[in-house]
């Protein structure tokens, strides 16, 4: 939803679903990734990208046919492990000194819980709204990545 141009030649858009539907308010929702994939197990080699944007689902509860669930996706019961694996995958595919931008909406899960799960402190970010944008940098020789 935040992309200015999803077709930018330097961007690869990955999602685990494709969707083409009309929301209850009449707006069209199209999810058409370049790559169908799971953020917990990305189909990329180590140290592939200079920048990764991680925008995982942030909802635990949403109706099966709700527009929120369709638009943003829904986390499973193992959300803590999923977010942790996803964050680690993002770091794995980042080049040394690469930038990870992490987007989180704390409507159902507080940012403080997410930061405990990922175990990294952001360099910068915003703290004044429900939707947070955090910036992390992969260290030259980061342990575990």
Q: Which domains are present in the chain?
A: 14-137 (3.40.50.150)
- Per residue in 15-45, pLDDT (tens digit) is 998 889 888 788 888 888 999 999 999 999 9
Average pLDDT over residues 71-82: 92
- Write the DSSP symbol of residue 28: E
User: Does the predicted model carry a pTM greater than 0.75?
Assistant: yes
Distances (CA, A) of 19 to 5, 40, 99, 143: 18, 20, 29, 37
Please report the pLDDT score of residue 54 as a whole number.
96
Please report the pLDDT score of residue 142 as a whole number.
54
Contact 30, 19 (CB under 8 A): yes
Please report the pLDDT score of residue 144 as a whole number.
55
What SS3 class is residue 26? coil
Mean residue pLDDT of the chain comes to 90
Q: Kindly write down the DSSP assignment for every residue of 87-138, as one continuous string.
A: HHHHHHHEEEEEEEEEEEE-SSS-HHHHHHHH----SEE--SSSEEEEEEE-
Please report the pLDDT score of residue 145 as a whole number.
52
Strands 131-137 and 19-22: unpaired
């Amino acid at each position: 939803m935040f992309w200015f141009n999803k077709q930018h030649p330097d961007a690869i858009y990955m999602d685990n679903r494709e969707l083409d539907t009309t929301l209850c308010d009449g707006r069209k929702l199209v999810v058409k990734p370049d790559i169908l994939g799971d953020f917990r197990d990305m189909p990329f080699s180590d140290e592939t990208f200079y920048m990764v944007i991680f925008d995982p689902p942030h909802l635990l509860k949403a109706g099966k046919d709700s527009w929120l669930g369709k638009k943003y996706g829904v986390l499973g019961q193992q959300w803590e492990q999923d977010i942790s694996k996803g964050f680690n995958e993002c770091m794995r595919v980042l080049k040394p000194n690469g930038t990870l931008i992490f987007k989180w909406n704390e409507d159902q899960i507080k940012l403080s819980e997410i930061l405990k799960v990922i175990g990294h402190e952001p360099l910068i970010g915003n703290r004044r709204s429900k939707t947070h944008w955090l910036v992390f940098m992969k260290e030259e020789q980061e342990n575990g990545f």
